[in-house]
Chains A and B, each alone.
Chain A
């Protein structure tokens, strides 16, 4: 391995900045904030945002593009966009904390969010099985803690435990799959794996390895039939933790698996362009996609808890993203990354609104949103943008993401193959989706409250985060080219 530590250091500067930031947050909290208990969260968040901003700046200017440190990491457009994307999403999540959360040890919450972000960021750049797995585990372990952070509510503990147990199992699957891949190809470097697979054909062992990897992927993406943790975790975890799990974690997970599956395993991808095409891991991805589209959309219809509803909507979106993964072969990384990042922004926003309402009297059932337009017109307006973007209504970003993926999917082979069918299924399901999204908006904007409502106090950082998220969705929807054109 021709190691160049200076180069490695340069490539890892964003992560270094985040780790330093997290340590600063902790130190500051211990040394200074114990005497200023009112400001400790605000200071922690401020430090966290500063380190995220610095990390984003460093990620944009991340040294020479290409493989780093003998190919362990790779800095390319995919890594840069995904890194900056997760930093933005983590920053939006952080801004939701001040004034809204009554968590004890709030500085630790901030630090753990930063550690999770380090994991997300490495997932975006990892080009090797081991580093990929470690990054995923760093992120996942942080997320388990975040999900169970609210020690005053048993639901939060339940969410943390459930997430941890199922997540641990999926990690075991992933590790097993990785070990088989290593055994088959003799390397953990994605480039070497790709070369080795180029000479072999599909074997039963390879098929098992692929299934194992995709099971773990399905879990990370909350795709059916590996989605069972999602509704419970979304419901029980503190709202900011859910926002992170639903957004940045998804972007990072998809980036990691895009890199693993496309540059690494593309020779055994098979094809979903037509029914007679060879099968490979794309076949499994197509099945997962169809299952998620159906189960997510139909499951959401029956929900009365707004967080569980959004969890099922997340499952259906995972179905579309799986389809987006399938079209990378012709359309490149643009559509899938555009979709996952804009989906992340909309979800952070939606859970941000839930966090605000939660801090002002609880927000679990759909009816808890009643009267939102009276309690805070701004909040109701932001929710309108987020939900409509999730529903895929133009000119918001959610629509263009869907449009780009469907176009690419139909370009693969018309409707003569699974890709085209999935695109048509997804279009049909978006009409189903509109129903439950309108149900949310109906509660928030239309239903008249039966009793007097209390106005909602909006803390400044949360207001800024929500307005920025809404503005980003509108801007990226009207001008998608700056993000799509990067690839």
Chain B
């Protein structure tokens, strides 16, 4: 438990080391990166076993950092952050396994990658708003370089769009937090102190500040209509980075909403709640329909991410205990599943076929040529659709039940979103992998050479197994995580904001 902060330090140290190792050989950089990620995952899993769920944050480190304005280096975890820390470990490890084929400037790739991971770990552990913000921004810059340098389609545009959206969002957050601190005469930037300061503000100030902070974070979470960076960014990113972006970084935004925006400004939240709930539902359905008509395989997954993050946002703004616990579960579940989907599309398929156009993929009997990829994708697709037995099912079900308590209409509309998700996932599976089902032999003479692909490598299999294992485990036993999440929601920080009742 007390080792948890080392995940942050180790990640940054690993970044520096792999940069140095990359000067010698690419293999050394890979080894360093994988070792770092595995050790961090190990630390987080050990901490998870020792973790006793309780209401409120359990402090890991708390030392004064800056005297004026009073800022503490305060790291703490509760069930929610524990869930996401474990997710970060899994996604990072899998992402490195799926980045095994990066040959160009390998050391720098893993340096940026691990710096991003370090920032993410930091965000999930921060209990001081300033510290939270610092780690949040540390996580933004590496994304730009990862995408702009190692990405594909339209990478410089995608990278810049993503960086500017994220930075503008964090600017809103900064403005809101500093405003709260200054106007409310807070004694420090600790979340508890800021909450007290926010309560002293007039109601209409709270409404404006809540909007700044919430929409700032929601930009990164991909809330409609601020989501447009997500599909372009994910498509442009190299596989490992898109796994991380969709899997973990979008959760930073949702986590920020849940950890900072809601507890700080219950009054502001009450004002915005109906609008936010509608935006979330519109996002679910709209992104689902857009995913249905995409021609680029990766765009399908990109929009599906936006749709699934809509569920997370819906769960958070439905603001009762069940819905929010479902939202956290969905964060974990989507982190794993989106990682898996991007891994199949970006690494297993694209690196071999060199196309992501569904037309072109239809022409190849991929289920025969890449059976392992097809198998993985079918599993991931089932999980993504929310089939029982995978983690998506308990997560979305919990969110829908919770939302029903708040607003049956929104729950019904969101349920339509589940159907749309099933539709676009099945279409993607069918068109890409099972587009041509006649026997290969009939066509062998004409296209044999072109259709010979390398086998799926061991790092890929390992990464896929890791993620599939996680989604199945949580699908079969969601209580593993819910037992952490639910007590965390009992904490006084959430009391004012989480209540039943209708919109």
Contacts and interface: CB of A to CB of B under 8 A. Distances in A.
Contact of A410 (B67, B130, B144, B179): B179
B179 A415 contact: yes
A441 B138 CA distance: 16
Given A388-B141, A438-B163, A431 B178 contact: no
A485 interface: yes
B164 A435 contact: yes
A434 B167 contact: yes
B167 A431 contact: yes
Given A424-B175, A427-B174, A435-B164, A410 B145 contact: no
Nearest to A334: B68
A423 B179 CA distance: 10
Contacts of B160: 435, 438
B164 A407 contact: no
Contacts of A410: 178-179, 181-183
B179 to A, nearest CB: 6
Nearest to B105: A373
Contact of A431 (B68, B149, B156, B168): B168
A335 to B, nearest CB: 10
A395 interface: yes
Contacts of B174: 403, 406, 427
A394 interface: yes
Contacts of A485: 67-68
B48 to A, nearest CB: 28
Contacts of A431: 164, 167-168, 171
A30 interface: no
B171 A445 contact: no
Contacts of A434: 163-164, 167
Contacts of A71: none
A445 B145 contact: yes
A35 B195 CA distance: 72
A373 B108 CA distance: 10
Contact of A394 (B133, B179, B183): B133
B473 interface: no
B171 A428 contact: yes
Nearest to A404: B69
Contacts of A446: 145, 148-149, 156
Contact of B68 (A399, A415, A424, A484): A484
B174 to A, nearest CB: 6
A32 B259 CA distance: 69
A430 interface: yes
A126 B259 CA distance: 50
A373 B149 CA distance: 12
A414 B174 CA distance: 14
A481 B164 contact: no
A192 interface: no
A407 B66 contact: no
B144 A438 contact: yes
Contacts of A423: 175, 178
B137 A394 contact: yes
Interface residues of B, number: 32
Interface in B188-210: 205
A434 B133 CA distance: 17
A324 B339 CA distance: 45
Contacts of A414: 179, 182-183, 205
B496 interface: no
A430 B178 contact: no
Interface in B125-145: 130, 133-134, 137-138, 140-141, 144-145
B203 to A, nearest CB: 14
A394 B138 contact: yes
Contacts of A430: 167, 171
Interface in A434-451: 434-435, 438, 441-442, 445-446
Nearest to B183: A414
A411 interface: yes
A192 to B, nearest CB: 33
Contacts of A442: 148, 156
Contacts of B67: 481, 484-485
Contacts of A395: 134, 138
Contacts of B175: 423-424, 427-428
Interface string A375-404: 000000000000010000111000110011
A309 B171 CA distance: 22
Nearest to B181: A407
A480 interface: yes
Contacts of A373: 105, 108
B69 A407 contact: yes
Nearest to B180: A410
Interface string B157-180: 000100110011001001100110
B365 to A, nearest CB: 36
A405 to B, nearest CB: 10
A311 to B, nearest CB: 23
A415 to B, nearest CB: 7
Interface in A236-283: none
A481 B163 contact: no
Interface in B310-341: none
Interface in A96-148: none
A399 B134 CA distance: 9
Contacts of A406: 174, 178
Interface in A464-487: 480-481, 484-485
Contact of A411 (B149, B168, B171, B182): B182
Contacts of B182: 407, 410-411, 414
B410 to A, nearest CB: 32
A430 to B, nearest CB: 6
Nearest to B104: A448
Contacts of B130: 403
Interface string B459-476: 000000000000000000
Nearest to B64: A481
Nearest to A445: B145
A441 B174 CA distance: 24
Most chain A CB neighbours (cut-off 10 Å) among B68, B134, B181, B205: B68
A437 to B, nearest CB: 10
B432 to A, nearest CB: 31
A395 B69 CA distance: 16
Contacts of B205: 414
Contacts of A441: 145
A303 B141 CA distance: 22
A423 B171 CA distance: 11
A388 B205 CA distance: 32
A334 B69 CA distance: 12
B104 to A, nearest CB: 10
Interface in A196-235: none
A337 B342 CA distance: 48
A411 B171 CA distance: 18
Contacts of A393: 137-138, 140-141
Contacts of B145: 441, 445-446
Interface string B54-69: 0000000000001111
Contacts of B167: 430-431, 434
Interface in B72-124: 105, 108
Contacts of B133: 394
A444 B134 CA distance: 25
A369 B141 CA distance: 20
11 contacts: A334-B68, A394-B138, A399-B137, A400-B66, A407-B69, A414-B205, A434-B164, A445-B149, A446-B149, A446-B156, A481-B67
Interface of B: 66-69, 105, 108, 130, 133-134, 137-138, 140-141, 144-145, 148-149, 156, 160, 163-164, 167-168, 171, 174-175, 178-179, 181-183, 205
- Nearest 5 pairs between A and B by C-beta? A410-B182, A394-B134, A411-B182, A414-B183, A431-B168
Given A414-B205, A434-B163, A481-B66, 10 more contacts: A393-B140, A394-B134, A415-B183, A423-B175, A427-B171, A442-B156, A445-B145, A445-B149, A446-B145, A484-B67
